[in-house]
């Protein structure tokens, strides 16, 4: 069986010039339209006294017309945002690919043009129909149109802020559940019972033939389980402590496989204090041994090095076993979850016919 492949890329942060981090729509189309209608009616009720009270006389029809005009001028703005954000279309997908600055700027421009066009159309239509309202001057009309468009856009951004809050609350709950699940899985998979059984079998063969080697074997085994007790449930450990643990773990494996297994570490001193999840490297070493043939004629050489300034690479050649061990396939998945909780990034797997590599985020500090 090949080593399980789990590929993912790091999520891009919302920055200028890059696609925005799109928050999924949290309101249904019906709910959004009802919210928009309620907001429009509120502004219609606000516009009613401001349009009627300054006049010495206003008929019920005029009062109703003023209220409907205010409702309509906000409704057309919400319908524009509905089409651009809530109605699936090529235009909506295009807007989603733009940066946050471009998205907000274009929507503000379209809203201003729409409200200005409506206001001018309404102004000339009232004049043509002879509706005797106190018509403002053209500069004042254009100014009022921009104020109304700003108010409408602010209401829309408020709706999206509520959506973002609900989305983030759901994300927090999801991360909490994943964290609990990751810790549970980590406890279950710290070291397989097969490893303990094989280690004890190796030790029994050393006790009489090589007492000195048996003593070191016991010391290294104690280091492995001491590390598990001390760091097994922590979120992060310094890289140098994980490497010390992996060296002890690899020694126990090498006493079993002899020259068939090699572990090479090539890391600069300045990265040794950086954090990563405990047992991350041990899991990758264990996976390499589990899924590949280990023999003296064809040594399995595992290399731990830097892929970039903030990325760790663990590679091994691929020598697939003829009779693969049973595997649940949850090891890399569990490690991915722990890395996402720790660094808000994902591991990346690179696999060819001859090599299997896992790239782990190794930032200078916790995110």
The CATH number assigned to the domain holding 300 equals 3.30.565.10
pLDDT band per the 50, 70, 90 thresholds, residue 58: low
In-domain check, residue 287: yes
Which residues, including other chains, have CB under 8 Å from residue 115's CB and lie 6 or more apart? 73, 76, 77, 145, 146, 148, 149, 152
**CA 289, 306, 12, 174: dihedral to nearest 10 degrees?**
40
Judge if 143 and 252 occupy the same domain. Answer: no
pLDDT band per the 50, 70, 90 thresholds, residue 14: very low
Residue pair 245/276 in contact by the 8 Å Cβ criterion: no
pLDDT (0 to 100) of residue 169: 83
Strand partners, 301: 262
pLDDT band per the 50, 70, 90 thresholds, residue 194: low
Judge if 105 and 43 occupy the same domain. Answer: yes
pLDDT (0 to 100) of residue 176: 72
Residue pair 271/240 in contact by the 8 Å Cβ criterion: no
In-domain check, residue 286: yes
Judge if 327 and 282 occupy the same domain. Answer: yes
Q: What is the pTM of this model?
A: 0.50
In-domain check, residue 219: yes
Judge if 223 and 278 occupy the same domain. Answer: yes
Judge if 241 and 166 occupy the same domain. Answer: no
Full residue range of the structural domain in which residue 226 is found: 193-361
Mean pLDDT within 75-88: 87
In-domain check, residue 12: no
pLDDT (0 to 100) of residue 140: 82
Portion of the chain with pLDDT greater than 70, in percent = 78
In-domain check, residue 90: yes
Which residue, of 184, 208, 239, is where some domain finishes? 184
Which residue, of 184, 210, 242, is where some domain finishes? 184
The domain tally of the chain equals 2
Judge if 305 and 177 occupy the same domain. Answer: no
pLDDT (0 to 100) of residue 183: 60
pLDDT (0 to 100) of residue 312: 93
pLDDT (0 to 100) of residue 133: 57
Mean pLDDT within 237-259: 90
Q: Please name the residue that has the structure tokens 């009802």.
A: 34
Mean pLDDT lowest among 137-146, 178-187, 190-199: 178-187
pLDDT band per the 50, 70, 90 thresholds, residue 15: very low
Judge if 179 and 201 occupy the same domain. Answer: no
Judge if 323 and 246 occupy the same domain. Answer: yes
Residue 167 to residue 25: CA distance in whole angstroms: 9
Residue 47 to residue 72: CA distance in whole angstroms: 12
Is the pLDDT at 1 greater than 80, yes or no?
no
Is the pLDDT at 346 greater than 60, yes or no?
yes
pLDDT (0 to 100) of residue 357: 94
In-domain check, residue 61: yes
pLDDT (0 to 100) of residue 64: 75
pLDDT (0 to 100) of residue 359: 93
Judge if 324 and 294 occupy the same domain. Answer: yes
Distance of CA 217 to the CA centre of its chain: 42
Residue 295 to residue 299: CA distance in whole angstroms: 5
Instruction: Return mean pLDDT, the chain.
Output: 79
Mean pLDDT lowest among 27-36, 212-221, 262-271, 322-331: 322-331
In-domain check, residue 228: yes
Mean pLDDT within 287-291: 89
Which residue, of 184, 203, 237, is where some domain finishes? 184
Mean pLDDT within 150-162: 89
Is the pLDDT at 315 greater than 50, yes or no?
yes
Judge if 335 and 211 occupy the same domain. Answer: yes
Judge if 284 and 218 occupy the same domain. Answer: yes
pLDDT (0 to 100) of residue 23: 60
Judge if 270 and 289 occupy the same domain. Answer: yes
């Amino acid at each position: 069986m090949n080593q399980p492949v789990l590929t993912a890329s790091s999520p891009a942060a919302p920055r200028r010039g890059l696609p925005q981090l799109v928050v999924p729509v949290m309101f249904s189309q019906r709910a959004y339209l009802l919210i928009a209608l309620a907001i429009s009616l509120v502004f219609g009720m606000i516009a009613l006294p401001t349009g009627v009270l300054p006049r010495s006389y206003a008929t019920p029809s005029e009062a109703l017309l003023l209220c409907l005009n205010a409702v309509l001028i906000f409704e057309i703005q919400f319908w524009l945002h509905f089409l651009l954000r809530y109605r699936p279309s090529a235009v909506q997908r295009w807007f989603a690919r733009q940066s946050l600055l471009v998205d907000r700027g274009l929507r503000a421009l379209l809203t201003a043009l729409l409200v200005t066009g409506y206001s001018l159309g309404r102004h000339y239509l009232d004049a043509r129909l002879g509706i005797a309202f106190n018509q403002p001057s053209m500069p004042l009309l254009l100014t009022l149109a921009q104020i109304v468009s700003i108010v409408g856009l602010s209401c829309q951004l408020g709706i999206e802020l509520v959506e973002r809050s609900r989305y983030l609350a759901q994300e927090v709950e999801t991360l909490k559940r994943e964290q609990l699940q990751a810790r549970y899985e980590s406890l279950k998979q710290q070291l397989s019972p097969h490893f303990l059984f094989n280690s004890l079998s190796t030790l029994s063969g050393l006790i009489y033939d090589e007492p000195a080697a048996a003593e070191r074997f016991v010391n290294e085994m104690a280091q492995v389980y001491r590390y598990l007790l001390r760091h097994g449930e922590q979120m992060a450990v310094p890289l140098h402590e994980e490497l010390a643990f992996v060296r002890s773990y690899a020694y126990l494996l090498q006493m079993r496989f002899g020259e068939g297994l090699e572990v090479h570490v090539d890391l600069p001193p300045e990265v040794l204090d950086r954090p990563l999840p405990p047992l991350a490297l041990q899991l990758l070493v264990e996976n390499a041994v589990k899924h590949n043939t280990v023999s003296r004629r064809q040594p399995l050489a595992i290399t731990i090095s830097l892929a970039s300034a903030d990325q760790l690479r663990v590679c091994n050649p691929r020598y697939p076993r003829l009779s693969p061990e049973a595997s649940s396939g949850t090891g890399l998945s569990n490690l991915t979850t722990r890395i996402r909780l720790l660094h808000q990034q994902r591991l990346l797997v690179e696999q060819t016919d001859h090599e299997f590599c896992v790239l782990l985020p190794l930032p200078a500090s916790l995110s």
